[in-house]
Amino acid sequence: MKALFQDFFTNKALFFNQFDHAARNMTDMAGLLTRITGDGITAESGELFKQIDKMEHTGDGITHKIYLALDKIMFTPLNRNDIHSLAGAIDDVADMIKEAASRINLYNISIFISPLIELALLIKKACAEIQTAVGLLKVHRQEDAILIACRKIKEYERHADRLYYNALADLFLTDKDPINLIKYREILQSLESTLNKCKSTADVLEVILINR
C-alpha cells in the first residue's frame, strides 16, 4: 500500500511538472511574439522567429512525454482523458503562436497595425492566465482561482473577436492594395485563432474541475 501511495505522488509530480513546463514554454513564446509585434521588424527579429520555432518543437516534445506517460502509468492525478486534452490544448496554443509568427515572417510586413499589436498582447495575457490556472491544478482548494483565470481568458477571446472583425472592416475601407489586404487578413486570422485555442484550453480546465 505504501508503495502505491509513493507511485501516485511520484506520478502526480511527473504530470504536473510537465504541464508547468508546457504552459511556461507557451507563455514565453507569446512573450517573444509581442516583442516582434511591439518593436516591428528589426535586426533582432530573425533570431526571435528562430526562438519561437525552437520553442514550438520543445512544446511538441513535452506533449509527447505526457502522452507516453499516460500509456505507461496506471494511477494518474487527473482523469486520463483530461490529461490528454489539456496537453493537447496547450500544444495547440503553442502551434498557433508559431503559425502567427511564421506568417509575419513570411509576409515581411513593414507596418504593424494597432489591432495586430493588440491581438498579440491579448495572446500574452491569455497565456499567462493559462499558466496560472495550470499551476494551481496541483494545489488544493484553488477551484475559484482557476475559474477566475478561465473567465479572464474568455474575456480576452471575446475582445479578440471584436478587434479582428473591426480590423478587417477598417482594412477593406482604407487599404486598396489587395496584396496588403491578404497579408494582414491572414496574420490577423492566425492571431485571432490563437485566442480561440486559448479559450478551448480554458474550457478543458473547467471540465477538469468538474471531473475532479
As a whole number of angstroms, the longest Cα–Cα distance in the chain is: 72
- Report the pLDDT averaged over residues 175-199: 95
- DSSP sequence for 145-198: HHHHHHHHHHHHHHHHHHHHHHHHHHHHHH---HHHHHHHHHHHHHHHHHHHHH
Number of Cβ atoms within 10 Å of the Cβ of 17:
12
| The pLDDT value given to residue 4 | 43
pTM of the shown model: 0.93
- Report the pLDDT averaged over residues 196-202: 99
Give the model confidence (pLDDT) of 71-124 as tens digits. Answer: 988 888 899 999 999 999 999 999 999 999 999 999 988 789 999 999 999 999
Please report which confidence band the pLDDT of residue 7 belongs to, taking 50, 70 and 90 as the band edges: low
- Class for domain 2-211, per CATH? mainly alpha
Domain ranges of the chain: 2-211
Give the model confidence (pLDDT) of 18-75 as tens digits. Answer: 999 999 999 999 999 999 999 887 888 999 999 999 999 999 999 999 999 999 888 8
Cβ atoms of 59 and 91 closer than 8 Å: yes
Distance CA 92, CA 153 (A): 15
Please report which confidence band the pLDDT of residue 9 belongs to, taking 50, 70 and 90 as the band edges: very low
Give the model confidence (pLDDT) of 127-183 as tens digits. Answer: 999 999 999 999 988 999 999 999 999 999 999 999 999 999 999 998 888 999 999
Which tops the pLDDT comparison, 201 or 5? 201
Residue appearing with cell numbers 494511477: 75
Under DSSP, the state recorded for 78 is S
